[in-house]
Amino acid sequence: MDSIIKDIRFAIRKLLKHPGFTLIAVLTLGLGIGATTAILLLAPIASWFNVVSPLTLLP
């Protein structure tokens, strides 16, 4: 248990030393999680449209 606490403290120290990396990592994770959530929430709406062939949606 002591080892885990030391590892967490070490990770926090490193992230605070490099705020640019931390910002990019948090933004990337947020964008990925947000996009996945949006797609999964909007997927059921696609079933409302009775599309016989998805290729007909292409321009």
pLDDT at 11 over 70: yes
Each residue of 25-44: pLDDT tens digit? 999 999 999 999 998 888 77
Tokens of 32: 């990925």
How far is 49 from 43, CA to CA, in rounded Å?
Answer: 11
pLDDT at 5 over 90: yes
* Contact yes or no for 23/17 (Cβ under 8 A): no
More confident: 42 or 8: 8
Proportion of the chain above pLDDT 90, given as a percent: 47
Q: Helix, strand, coil proportions of the chain in percent (round to 5)?
A: 80, 0, 20
pLDDT at 1: 82
pLDDT at 49: 72
